[in-house]
Amino acid sequence: MYIKPGHFSILWLALGSLILVSSSAFADEFTKADLERWQQEYLTVVKQGREVFTDPNLGNNGVVCAQCHPNGANIHPETYPKFQQQLGKVAPLWEMINWCIRNPLEGKALSADDPRMIALQAYITHERRGVKLAPGKH
Amino acid sequence: MSNINRRDFIKSAGILMAGTALPLSTIEMVFADSQQNFTFAYISDSHIQHIKGKQFVRNWDRGLMRAVAETNLMDPKPDFVIYGGDLAQLAKKSEIDHGLELLSGLRHKTYYVMGEHDYYLDLGEYWESQLGPQYYSFDHKGVHFVVLNSILTYDDWTYNRWSSGEERMNVMAGLDNPNGSPFMVGEKQRTWLKADLAKVDKDTPVVVFSHSPLQKLFKNWNFWTEDAEQVQALLQPFKKVTVFYGHVHQIQYNQIGNISFQSVMATAWPWPYPKTYAQAPNYMPKLTVDMNRADPFFERDATGWQFVDIHNGNAAMHYSLANNSRRTVAFNTQTGRPEDMKYQDHRIPPQTHY
Ligand SMILES: [Fe+2]
Ligand SMILES: [Fe+2]
């Protein structure tokens, strides 16, 4: 990890206060309640992803992803990264998502860390859960 | 024409044609007995979608314009055209009007089938005011044709759950929306169908047009008709029955008893096969050789229209596919089922969906 010099002391201050507040919470010890909360956080983003996936305002023509990809089908997140002939390179999932936002939705591409882009990937991957990873597959 | 004028329409249709690989005049049917054999064209699922003002989704407009332009080039001319339903996206007047305007370029008698995207806003009222009854039959060259409205559903869902027609339409328009409801023909129409068929000789070939499959294939996406068995039971006594349906936006075919089933492509966009959804079981026919996987970089890929030739009461469906070679699925009298003329036992890699 790279820490900017100026932030160094702030980090130590933060750590120090953490140790003071909850001395029992070691990083390698988490409870069932923690697990449930993390799952809940994840599912909340999956749900937001479904909302983006069906949002007529994501693009500019009212078309939504779910119109062509019911339940996120035919998106194959397990095959990424993979070579895309028309892009002429190996691409990650989010670049292909942007391709569909720009073309069928006639919209503007999202940045890779846009919360909507992350939510879209969470939803798409969730609908594909249980399928074996197959990077590069066409 | 209110949204694009006639000259623009013909001009853009011409441009579209210049880009097509196959001159449609190469379609020539060879018939033993020209009296009883004929062709018709089949266009379906255009999903004309209103944005605002005079704007419609360009992609869907293009699909329908291309199908109309190509149908007009068929030689010999088709005896008629079937429009298989889902002309509109949200059943708005503006969408039905714009769709019919694009279809007005057709130089053929056209019969219409109701799709759920034409219906659930006003329960088919505007569609009916423009196109006539929602179910009917007619006879042509010795074949009895039946058109059904197969996208009805339970009354409780239709009448008791929604604050507006818009809300109801929006829910039914989401193929994967869990608050949707299974399609059905319904008792009233089945009673009508029974009476209609009672007048028809059992040796007369029967062809049925519905929007939904009249089979139970995949409930999650309404590739499904709730009372399929009851409708099939009315059709089974006939020697040669073919059911053609839209809605699924992909190639499917099947044989159940005396009934052949064949689906048509959409002009708007293709749909994934149910097996590509990892979380739910499906009952898709093993017989089908799937359409080629779509390349998203070509917006018309895996869309198309088709023409059907009926010879001695048996059907052959010719899929005219943008950016793909044409496919023919024809009834094989030896095996007694529809089969792909080229790929039935020789599938190619793009036909593998996962
Ligand atoms: Fe459709
Ligand atoms: Fe439909």
**Cα–Cα dist A91/A81, whole Å:** 5
**Cα–Cα dist B262/B337, whole Å:** 11
Residue of B260, B171, B249, B251 whose CA lies nearest to B215: B260
Distance B247 CA to ligand 1 centre (A): 4
**Cα–Cα dist B321/B290, whole Å:** 13
- Secondary structure E strands in A8-133: 82-84, 89-91
Contact B38, B80 (CB under 8 A): no
Q: Give me the pLDDT at residue B323, please.
A: 83
| Higher pLDDT pick, A81 / B323 | A81
- Closest CA of chain A from B30, distance in Å: 38
- Closest CA of chain A from B23, distance in Å: 27
* Interface residues of chain B, partner chain A, Cβ below 8 Å: 49-51, 55, 57-59, 174-176, 220-221, 269-272, 276-280, 294, 296-297, 299, 353-354
> At a CB cut-off of 8 Å and minimum separation 6, what does B304 contact?
B67, B265, B267, B319, B320, B321, B322, B324
Distance B291 CA to ligand 1 centre (A): 16
**Architecture of domain B6-353 in CATH?**
4-Layer Sandwich (3.60)
Q: Give me the pLDDT at residue A27, please.
A: 74
Contact B150, B214 (CB under 8 A): yes
| Residue contact A70–B277, C-beta within 8 A | yes
Q: Give me the pLDDT at residue B319, please.
A: 96
Instruction: Compute the residue count for chain B.
Output: 354
Whether the bond into A92 is cis, omega within 30 of 0 = no
Q: Give me the pLDDT at residue A9, please.
A: 47
Contact B322, B66 (CB under 8 A): yes
Domain A37-138, CATH homologous superfamily name and number: Cytochrome c-like domain (1.10.760.10)
Contact B333, B314 (CB under 8 A): yes
* pLDDT 10s digits, B161-185: 999 999 999 999 999 999 999 999 9
Which pLDDT band, with edges at 50, 70 and 90, does B6 fall under?
very low
**Cα–Cα dist B116/B47, whole Å:** 11
- B87 has pLDDT over 80: yes
Distance B255 CA to ligand 1 centre (A): 23
- Closest CA of chain A from B33, distance in Å: 43
Per-residue pLDDT of chain A (138 residues; tens, 9 = 90+): 444 444 444 444 444 444 445 555 677 889 999 999 999 999 999 999 999 999 999 999 999 999 999 999 999 999 999 999 989 999 999 999 999 999 999 999 999 999 999 999 999 999 999 999 999 999
A102 to chain B, any CB pair closer than 8 A? The answer is no
Residue of B100, B179, B177, B189 whose CA lies nearest to B151: B189
Question: Mean pLDDT over all residues of chain B?
Answer: 91
- Who among B57, B270, B278 is closest to A61 (CB)? B57
Q: Give me the pLDDT at residue A24, please.
A: 58
| Residue contact A71–B297, C-beta within 8 A | no
Ligand with smallest separation from the Cα of B46: 1
Across the strands, what pairs with B113? none
* pLDDT 10s digits, B291-306: 999 999 999 999 999 9
| Residue contact B57–A74, C-beta within 8 A | no
Q: How far is CA B103 from the centre of its chain?
A: 15
Residue of B234, B259, B237 whose CA lies nearest to B331: B259
* pLDDT 10s digits, B23-67: 443 344 444 455 678 999 999 999 999 999 999 999 999 999 999
Probe site for chain B from A74, A89, A96 (most B CB atoms < 10 A): A74
Across the strands, what pairs with A76? none
Contact B316, B308 (CB under 8 A): yes
Across the strands, what pairs with B261? B243, B254
ipTM associated with this complex: 0.90
| Higher pLDDT pick, A1 / B246 | B246
Distance B323 CA to ligand 2 centre (A): 23
- Closest CA of chain B from A130, distance in Å: 8
Q: Which residues of chain A does B221 touch, with a Cβ-Cβ cutoff of 8 Å? A: 70-71
Contact A107, A60 (CB under 8 A): yes
Q: Give me the pLDDT at residue A131, please.
A: 98
